[in-house]
Structure 1
């Protein structure tokens, strides 16, 4: 990981080769639009931009700005209190992604992050660039139209176990943060959205993490009419408990 500073902006690059690029412009959507590299967008709290960047980073990318949720998000939309650089939202997420990526977990390839401090140095805004997973949908979108075989549920369970074995707690583990990708050899599961996630000691929290995921499936049965059964959950647990390190 390479850190760079330009005036009040701090950059974290996952590869030293990226420092040779015009990376200070990479967090401006207009920069990519002028080059005709924006391939699509997705709406959430803000807009995520999907970029054609395979020639630059080896993969196409997604650009995401950090926004607050809840009540604070209505008052202070995208500013956070600055303490130390390593604990800013984008730097912390990029470093965690790098750790998981190098460990071989199916997570988006980390590319780079930026933190822009305000004039007084009290608050900051942040953005992150990471790999866009191609030919993929989140699990809820898939389950609205089809059931999944036991081996896919077991793959999901195994993936979560790998995360837990690394002592990483995904604090927002839900059905929307699991992607199912169609590949030439079959279907592959990915984990997304590691904002505010991190290492956690002990094992006491792992069961609760699984139960959070289970609740999210039950919630989407009601809200999105997804196809999810008790047997699906049992298959997921089989994958979790039978995973071999």
Structure 2
């Protein structure tokens, strides 16, 4: 990995996955001018999908949620470069990959210091030919084997002691080869013990129930039972 550091800016990146000039890659206008925008997704802000010279990537600017997010949209209190959200997520993804968990490869992280606050961005791999569970389950149900794969992948993440604080079915993808991926590790951390793991699973189950009511997805309690049985194997 390489680092670019100035008094006001920190960029950490993988030169194997990035051939473009690093000072421009966090600007969506740069990709627009190159005609390299392949799509977008809406969340707290816009995630841009861009075609780099090496792989297709997702460019995300960190934004706050909740009531505070209406006042301070994208500023976070600065303590050190190591504690910025973009660098923490980058390094957590590196650790998960080393532990064999299917997560996107991190490409580049940036933080810009502005007084006592900073803003942050992350460029990471867009998983090719993959859809999230919400999109899939709106049109069809999943096989028992796929629910088993999901349970197994979550178990791998938990064996790596990573607490995914926003584990929901928007953040679980399945690609064309039926490989399960977990995404969006902002604010996620490594923890000791096991007591917190049940909260991840409870949150995931609530998201299934929520989307049954909201979008009438194809899901039943028996699907959850299959997932949990695989998780505990």
TM-score interval (norm. to shorter): over 0.9
Are 2:176 and 1:182 aligned? Answer: yes
Greater shift, 98-107 or 19-28, is seen at 19-28
- TM-superposed CA distance for 1:171, in Å, is 0.5
Q: Structure 2 matches for 1:224-235, cutoff 5 A?
A: 224-235=215-226
Are 2:55 and 1:59 aligned? Answer: yes
Are 2:130 and 1:136 aligned? Answer: yes
TM-score by length of 2: 0.95
Are 2:229 and 1:238 aligned? Answer: yes
- Report the counterpart of residue 83 of structure 2 in structure 1: 87
Are 2:67 and 1:71 aligned? Answer: yes
Are 2:8 and 1:8 aligned? Answer: yes
CA distance 1:227–1:182, change in 2 (3 Å): same
TM-score by length of 1: 0.91
What residue ranges of structure 1 are gaps of 5+ in the alignment? none
- Report the counterpart of residue 182 of structure 2 in structure 1: 191
**Following the alignment from structure 1 to structure 2, what is the Cα–Cα distance between the partners of residues 212 and 205?**
11
User: Is contact 2:100–2:156 with CA below 8 Å preserved after alignment?
Assistant: no
- TM-superposed CA distance for 1:102, in Å, is 2.4
What residue ranges of structure 2 are gaps of 5+ in the alignment? none
Kindly indicate which of the two structures has a greater share of residues assigned to helix: 1
- TM-superposed CA distance for 1:129, in Å, is 0.2
**Following the alignment from structure 1 to structure 2, what is the Cα–Cα distance between the partners of residues 26 and 189?**
28
- TM-superposed CA distance for 1:36, in Å, is 1.1
**Following the alignment from structure 1 to structure 2, what is the Cα–Cα distance between the partners of residues 174 and 141?**
13
- Report the counterpart of residue 47 of structure 1 in structure 2: 46
Are 2:151 and 1:157 aligned? Answer: yes
**Following the alignment from structure 1 to structure 2, what is the Cα–Cα distance between the partners of residues 21 and 143?**
37
**Following the alignment from structure 2 to structure 1, what is the Cα–Cα distance between the partners of residues 156 and 175?**
19
- TM-superposed CA distance for 1:4, in Å, is 1.5
2:113 to 117, 122, 125: 117
**Following the alignment from structure 1 to structure 2, what is the Cα–Cα distance between the partners of residues 151 and 88?**
38
Are 2:195 and 1:204 aligned? Answer: yes
